[in-house]
Amino acid sequence: MLPLREYIQEARNKGTAVGHFNISTLDGIWAVADAAQALNVPVIIGVSEGERDYVGVRQAVAIVKSIREERNQPIFINADHTYSFDRVKEAIDAGFDSVIFDGAQLSFEENVKITKKCVDYARASGRDVIVEGELGFIGTSSKVLSEIPAGAIVGDVNMTKPEVALQFVTETGVDMLAPAVGNIHGVVVGGDPALNTKRVKEIAEAVKIPLVLHGASGNTADDIEKSIKNGVAVVHVNTELRLAYRSGLVKSLSDNHDEVAPYKFLKPAKLAMQRVVEEKLRIVNNL
């Protein structure tokens, strides 16, 4: 079993990416694990602050690690969108394979300061913990949106600039960078904005570390594939999984209104998520 860092590098070398899928329940973990196992590709389970508060910080790590060990499956866990050093520290101490400090709404100077502190702590942990930084606000809600979130950066002028990205990476020492390149969290009714795949390439060439595409729910397969070709090595999906789970559960309860066993009425919802994960994994792995 290779460490996560090597799977990410391997994906870059092949011109593919590692899929990253957020979960809130055990059903979600199994949906992601089973989809990745079926396609024989590495995968990352993501849990944001709210998601890991619900699942349990150490519990989420223990479940993912148990699947990895039992199946010899390359499945990893990431502390997604973490907004303070203390919570990054908590995730590293709990055994997460990677962490994200999201300082996108802070000043550049404050973002650099806290991100570097997170990097230093990860390096001192004695484990190979990947640290990701963020530049550019792309919203915070993984849900269906009637309009682009206020303050989200989608215009070319305000997107993450290559020279600023290089300064950030140089001063913090992060392993991966999540830039604002037209992507947003959530799914916009009527369609998400197009990604600026040219800017992706410019940033990747400047920083020379793997890039991460957040908010890939709602983006076209073509935009995702071009972003991967231009330097994205990890692709995040959340909202589409939530929508699949909800619709699958509603249908299951409607079709089986007398069923009271959760493992029976939840299974169709789990399978609905799994189908979405498989679809996205085929895209990012060029299958």
**Residues involved in catalysis:** 80
> How far is it, in rounded angstroms, from Cα 278 to Cα 287?
10
- Evaluate whether 179 touches 135 at the Cβ level (below 8 Å): yes
| Alpha-carbon distance values, 25 to 62, 113, 148, 191, 264 (Å) | 14, 33, 28, 28, 15
Q: Is the four-CA dihedral 45, 22, 49, 147 of positive or negative sign? A: positive
Hunting for tokens 């702590």 — which residue is that? 121
Helices (H), 45-105: 49-55, 57-71, 85-94
For helices 26-39 and 267-284, what crossing angle results, to 10°?
40
Element (H, E) at 82: strand 75-82
Dihedral, CA of residue 232, residue 237, residue 239 and residue 242, to nearest 10: 180
**Do the beta carbons of residue 195 and residue 168 sit within 8 Å?**
no
- Nearest-angstrom CA–CA distance, 135 and 176: 11
> 56: which DSSP letter?
-
